[in-house]
Each structure stands twice: as C-alpha cells, then as structure tokens.
Homo-oligomer: A and B are copies of this chain.
Amino acid sequence: LSGHSAGDLLPRGSVEVTREFLSTLVTLLLNYVEMENDRSTRVLEFRHPKQLEQIVDIDVPDEEEPANLYQLILDCQQALQYQVRSGHPRFFNQISTGLDIVSLAGEFLTATTNSNMFTYEVSPVFVLIEKAVLSKMRELIGWPTGDGIFAPGGSLSTLYAVHLARHRKFPTVKTKGMTSLSKRPVIFTSAHCHYSIPTAAAVLGMGTESVVEIAVDGRGRMSVTELEKEILACLERDDVPLMVNATAATTVLGAFDPIPQIADLCEKYDIWLHVDAAWGGGVLCSSKYRTLAQGIERANSVTWNPHKMMGAHLQCSAVLTREPNQLFSCNNMSADYLFQQDKHYNVEYDTGDKAIQCGRRNDVFKLWLMWRAKGTLGFERHVNNLFELRDYLVSQLKQFDDFEMVLEEPECTNVCFWYVPPSCATLSGNRRYERMGRITAVIKARMMDRGNLMVGYQPLDDKPNFFRMIISNHASTKEDIDFMLEEIVRIGREL
C-alpha cells in the first residue's frame, strides 16, 4: 500500500489495490472491535485537548504530494488509539453506547451504497424497508395506521413533532409566520424533560418562555395536578395550550411520565400529545416492561430512538404520528426538480416532501438488519437483560454503605447515586450532600485519567453532582457493574 496513492483506487485505479486497501482497513477495524470487547483494554487514553493536538497529526494538507495508502491506514490507527471506546463493556457514560455487530454490518452496507432516501427513484429498496420498519414501530406503539420518518436524532424528531402540533392548530403559520398570531402557543413538559424541547421552541420561533415546565413528583414524574393547573393558567392568560410533551424515560432519572392521565387532559383541552420516548421507546419491545409506557398509543406523535435502548448505531431516530398525511401537509414544498408528479411510478413512495431535510441519509437499513437477525422477541430479550442488570446494580448499591441512591426505585435503567466518602459518615444534611457532590466530579476526573471506566454525572434541581449510571450497553455484565462500583470506591478512598 505504501507504493500507492488514492488515485490508484477505483474508479480510476485498480480493483486489486481497492481490495487490498479496504481489506487492510477492515482488519484494523476488526482488531479494534476485538480489543474493545477485551476488558483488559482501557476505555480511553485520556489526553487534554492541547496535549492531544500535539500527539496526533491532524493537519489538513494543501499539497498534492498525496499520502500513500499505508499512511492513510496509519492515520486511521492513530484516530482509533485515542478515540473513546464507546462499545467497551465498561463505557456507561452515555445513553447511546455499545457496538452491535449486525448494526455495524448494516452501516457498512449503507456506506457502500451511499444512498439518498428522498425518492423511491434512487432508493427503492431502502424506501420500502423504511416503510416496513416504521409500520412495525407503530404496531408496537399500538397504532393500526399513521405515518413517520427517520430523522437525524431525537432532538430533531421532537422538533418535527412540535412543528406538527403547531401546524395542526395554526396551519396558516406555514405561510404567514408566527407574527400573524394574536395568541401565544404554549408547550407543557416536565421540569426534567430533555433540553431538545426548549431547543425546538427556540428554533420554531415560539421562544423558550413558551415552554412551561411542570413540577415533578419525588420520582421525577410529571405531576398531573400541576399540569392541569398550568393549562388553566394558560387559558386564563388567553394563551393557547398547544402541546404536552410526556417523557417516556427522562434523561437523568429515567422517569416515565403518567401518559394515561396526561392523555385525559389533552383530550379534555384539545391539546396535541407528544411522547418523547427517545430513550424509553425500547421498552415497547418487551411484554414485561412495556407497561411503563402505558397509554403511549393515545399520543399524537412519538419520538423513538433505536440508537439508544435498542442498540442501533447513532444516528437512528424516528418521529411517528398516529394520523397519516400530517408530515406531508406540514412540510411539503413540492420541489419540482425532485418530486415531479409525472414520474412513471407511484410517487406516493417518495418521502422527500414529508421531510425538513432534502438529502437524507439511510438510517434504517441497520435497524432492519438487526430486526431480521433477532426479531422483536430478540429485542425483548435484549431489553429485559438491561433491566435485570439494573436490578442487580440497585441491589448492590443498597447493600453497601459506600453509596447513596438518588432514587431508591428507578423506573428505567438509569441508576443515579452518590459515592459516600468515609468522611461523610458523620455528616448530615446539606454539608453531607455538598461534599458528596464535590467528590463526584473529582472521582470522574480520576476515572478519566485511569481510563478503565466511564460513567457520567450531573447535578439535578437541588441535588449536587451525582453519578448517572446508564445501563444501555449490551456488552456489559454483572462483573462490569461490580467493577464499576469497586473502581469508584477505590478512587474515592485514595483521595
């Protein structure tokens, strides 16, 4: 490879060099996957930004003096060395983790076809696959018909939903804009919702103040009494209650808002109900845990990220609607150059006019391939397994004095806790929590430097920094949970 440059690859170069280059790369990648799954490999080799800029050569060159293909392989190797191994069984830092091999195979194929999802004309198979997968997802929600589209992430899926809610109530905003409204539309969501709700409000020109945060109960679930109070206050102010966002598994505590009661209020006051199941959507695959999202079929729209609990690669997120045609009515701009109505096939299969994107990546093939590989029941097993690990972690936390749980009975597979240093044993009240909060960030910093483990942390309301363990990685086992707890204690005691 060192005697060849990119010009020797297809289309101008040879098949043989192309094969050798890609095979060498794939061997490197397979070694990475093997190492990532080996617990003696570190999760990361942390370097501060300024250090890393010195170590890795990231120069973007001008010279035509091109790198030879071997040098490109070395470039890849270098990127892999300092990249965080987010598929490592001890990477618990994020909601989207893990490396599913079937999903990976799907991504390889997706990259090879480099398709654009906007028309049936150029993506016939993938458009049909998207249709079939969306239909299965709706079936799991409990909808006989409806619509949907894959969007680049849950935040944008939810933006679609808020946009739909506005379009239903104020269809003229599409042409005349919000300045034509005399009343202010309002979104209700729990105080613990994901920040994509205020983001959507800001982008859509509704403003973050149009988002009314509803207080949560002791377990992080939206208070229905408070919700009704706020709806009435909104009507009182002569504002328009537009949408309630119920979160099905909040980002930090993993709480499921009480959808049936919220749906009752939405019906009573004619409000669009969106369920943000970006994180918790996966429970719909499990007959054991789907009751957590009970009532979801009463929603008008749902955000569901298979790239979270179901383990598909980032990006894989869908927005689904109970009614058909809404996406089209809201988003179509009838671009002549793409969506000609005189095409020789049934143009209802073109998806582009439902989207706020034009070019759209194929995010669905990998998920379909996973579904083919294991069926809904395989996803059920996968989800149940994550909950079992959650139960194990909770039982361990309760057993040892080194920890204090933020929530004794988490609903989802988020488990939030503090490490309690020996020096806190005699403290109580605020001083105790302050110290525990301070030590959380310190432990995290050490954890990053040691590189054996990654767990996230954050404050919430009046609670100072605590660890948020997310059990979402199908590679993790009870031993990894044990290791995590031991490592935190080890670091904590050394401080």
Q: A90-149: which have CB < 8 Å to B?
A: 93-94, 96, 98-99, 101-102, 104-105, 107-109, 111-116, 120-126, 128-129, 132-133, 135-136
- A294 CB within 8 Å of chain B: no
The 17 listed contacts between A and B (C-beta, < 8 Å) are A22-B104, A46-B124, A49-B345, A61-B375, A66-B373, A72-B102, A79-B125, A79-B365, A84-B115, A116-B314, A174-B207, A177-B201, A179-B207, A180-B207, A251-B337, A252-B337, A337-B458
From residue A19, how far is it (CB to closest CB) to chain B in Å? 6
Q: Are B23 and A56 in contact (CB under 8 A)?
A: no
Q: Which of A25-33, A320-328, A400-408 contacts B (4 or more CB under 8 A)?
A: A25-33
What residues of chain B lie closer than 8 Å to A181, measured between beta carbons?
179
Closest to A348 in B: B49
A358–B195 touching, CB < 8 Å: yes
Count chain A residues whose beta carbon lies closer than 8 angstroms to a beta carbon of B.
Answer: 170
- In the complex, which residue of chain B has the Cβ closest to the Cβ of A163? B203
B153 close to A178 (CB less than 8 A): no
B178 engages A83 (CB within 8 Å): no
Which among B25, B37, B458 is the interface contact of A11 at CB below 8 angstroms? Answer: B37
Question: Nearest Cβ distance between residue A112 and chain B, in whole angstroms?
Answer: 4
**Does residue A210 face the partner (Cβ distance < 8 Å to B)?**
yes
Stretch in contact with the other chain, from A2-10, A221-229, A263-271: A2-10
CB of A356 within 8 A of CB of B156, answer yes
**A233 interface residue per 8 A CB criterion:** no
Let me know if A232 is at the binding interface, CB within 8 A: no
Which residue of B37, B60, B349 contacts A132 across the interface (Cβ within 8 Å)? B60
Q: A64-B374, A107-B111 are in contact. Are A72 and B358 (CB under 8 A)?
A: no
Cα distance, A129 to B66, chains bound together (Å):
18
Query: Contact: B5 with A356, CB < 8 Å?
Result: no
Decide if A289 is an interface residue (CB 8 Å cutoff): no
A475 at the interface (CB under 8 A from B): yes
Do the beta carbons of B315 and A361 come within 8 Å of each other? yes
Do A203 and B356 have beta carbons less than 8 Å apart?
yes
Interface residue from B10, B179, B331 paired with A101 (Cβ < 8 Å): B10
User: Quick one: closest B residue to A206, CB to CB?
Assistant: B177
A433 at interface by CB-CB < 8 Å: no
Residues A340 and B64 in contact, CB atoms below 8 Å apart: no
- Chain B residues closer than 8 Å to A94, beta-carbon distance: 116, 122
Structural contact, B373 and A65, CB atoms closer than 8 A:
no
Q: Are A207 and B175 in contact (CB under 8 A)?
A: yes
Complex formed: what's the CA distance from A72 to B198 in Å? 41
A53 touches B128 (CB 8 A): yes
- The answer to whether A82 touches B179, judged by C-beta atoms less than 8 angstroms apart, is no
Q: Quick check: which of A386-394, A441-449, A486-494 contacts chain B, the rest being far away?
A: A441-449
What's the least CB distance linking A341 to chain B, in Å? 10
A80 near B60 with CB under 8 A, answer no
- Further contacts, 16 of them, CB under 8 A, given A84-B123, A152-B152, A343-B445: A6-B373, A6-B378, A18-B30, A22-B104, A56-B128, A58-B132, A108-B108, A115-B314, A116-B314, A152-B153, A153-B359, A174-B202, A198-B333, A252-B337, A336-B459, A342-B465
Among candidates B47, B125, B370, residue contacting A124 with C-beta atoms closer than 8 Å: B47
- The proximity string for A residues 470-482 relative to B, scoring 1 for CB distances below 8 Å and 0 otherwise, is 0000110000000
Smallest CB-CB separation from A129: which chain B residue?
B58
Q: List CB contacts (< 8 Å) of A343-394 with chain B.
A: 343-346, 349, 356-361, 365, 368-378, 381
Determine if A235 is an interface residue (Cβ-Cβ < 8 Å).
no
Q: A372-B72, A374-B66 are in contact. Are A60 and B133 (CB under 8 A)?
A: yes
User: Are B83 and A126 in touch, CB under 8 angstroms?
Assistant: yes
Question: A335 on the interface (CB 8 Å rule)?
Answer: yes
